[in-house]
Amino acid sequence: GVGMGMTAPVSITAFPAEDGSFQQKVKVSLRIPSQFQDNPPCPTDESIKIEERQGMTIYSTQFGGYAKETDYVNYAAKLKAALGSEASYCKDFYFCNGYDPPMKPYGRRNEVWFVKE
């Protein structure tokens, strides 16, 4: 019965296929606003879970515009190329993050994160 409104960032965990595209499974994560952090409301939908994301070190790239799956895939490929073979990071998944509400037409910020191993 508690509305928390929209939060930022919206974080999508992408699981890349062999060709770099997203597999059919993705995980969408929303940040719980600060005032609810200590005691978040319980979800009424069983498919919604509250998880705590542990601290991590990431490799990141940023881009603008209204991001689509192809944008995240392309920027993930660019980040992978920029890191080369020397960087050690998780290759099973990566995070796609959007920081802006849908009605913001300019100055949008999106990021791709690879988690350092």
- The Cα 32–Cα 5 span in angstroms is 10
pTM: 0.87
3-state secondary structure of 45: coil
Q: Side chain identity at 50, as an amino acid letter?
A: I
User: Domain 8-32+54-114: which CATH class?
Assistant: alpha beta
Residue whose C-alpha is closest to residue 107's, from 70, 62, 68, 76:
62
pLDDT of residue 1: 67
Residue-level pLDDT, tens digit, the chain, 117 residues: 677 667 788 999 999 888 877 887 888 898 888 888 898 888 888 998 999 889 999 999 999 999 999 999 999 999 999 999 989 999 999 999 999 988 899 999 999 999 999
pLDDT of residue 90: 95
Write down the domain spans for the chain: 8-32+54-114
